[in-house]
């Protein structure tokens, strides 16, 4: 069975917040296909509108679909970046609707603010180190962890930028197997920073 991973993109997204998870799930899918199995994962990019989207540093992508036209998703990933276009009523309604059907929703970096605006931020979460204080002030019901990612069940949040790769490998392990996650990290020649998914007592910044 192939799981569809939807990655939301918007003008001003952080490039590695998108490209890192996309590469993890794409590589994991290729590895399972190479073993004669259906690809474990199929990542796709989705935008609010159909035109190309420009991230930070003029990193441009052409989404595979829009939030109104896409296949059913198993996982939704919300990247960070310049968040002006992400705090949109149509986008937040879509995120809320997806949460009703996906296995889990994950954020990278300031993508945690999308979760908060949508009313989905868990009691314990994380974001980029420079934005942790603002996230805590904006959503006082959430405690902020210093870990690179926090697995709160159906909501998973990651710290800044490269932490999204560590979180995505964790999700490969959670949704498929540890063996595939380790194979994926080796294929990417990436030093996977693993950690317990639960934040220990006292590991809270704000």
Domain boundaries, the chain: 3-105+162-187
Neighbours of 93 (CB within 10 A): 12
Average pLDDT over every residue of 140-149:
94
15 neighbors 71 (Cβ within 8 angstroms)? no
Average pLDDT over every residue of 114-125:
97
pLDDT greater than 90 at residue 193: no
Least confident of 43-52, 62-71, 180-189, 193-202: 193-202
What is the model's pTM? 0.94
- Give tens-digit pLDDT for 40-64: 999 999 999 988 999 999 999 999 9
| Residue 30 Cα to chain centre, angstroms | 20
Average pLDDT over every residue of 155-164:
96
The alpha-helical segments, DSSP class H, found in the chain are 15-34, 89-99, 112-117, 132-138, 163-175, 178-187
**pLDDT class for 202, splitting at 50, 70, 90?**
very low
Two tokens, residue 179:
């063996």
182 neighbors 155 (Cβ within 8 angstroms)? no
CATH 3.40.50.11260 correct for 3-105+162-187: no
Mark 162-200 as b/e (b = at least 16 C-beta within 10 Å): bbbbbbbbbbbbebbeeebbebbbeebebebbeeebebe
The pLDDT score that the predictor gives to residue 83 is: 92
Strand partners, 76: 6, 105
């Amino acid at each position: 069975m192939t799981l569809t991973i939807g990655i939301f993109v918007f003008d001003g997204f952080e490039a590695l917040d998108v490209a890192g998870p996309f590469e993890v799930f794409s590589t994991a899918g290729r590895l399972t296909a190479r073993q004669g199995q259906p690809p474990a994962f199929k990542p796709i990019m989705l935008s609010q509108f159909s035109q190309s989207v420009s991230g930070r540093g003029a990193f441009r992508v052409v989404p595979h679909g829009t939030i109104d036209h896409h296949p059913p998703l198993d996982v939704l990933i919300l990247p960070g970046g310049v968040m002006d276009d992400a705090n949109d009523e149509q986008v937040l309604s879509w995120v809320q609707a997806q949460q009703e059907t996906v296995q889990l929703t994950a954020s990278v970096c300031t993508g945690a603010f999308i979760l908060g605006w949508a009313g989905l931020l868990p009691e314990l979460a994380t974001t980029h180190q420079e934005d942790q204080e603002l996230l805590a002030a904006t959503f006082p019901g959430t405690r902020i962890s210093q870990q690179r990612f926090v697995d709160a069940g159906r909501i998973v949040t990651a710290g800044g930028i490269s932490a999204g790769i560590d979180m995505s490998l964790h999700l490969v392990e959670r949704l498929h197997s540890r063996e595939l996650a380790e194979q994926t990290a080796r294929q990417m020649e990436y030093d996977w920073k693993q950690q317990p998914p639960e934040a220990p007592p006292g590991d809270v910044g704000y």
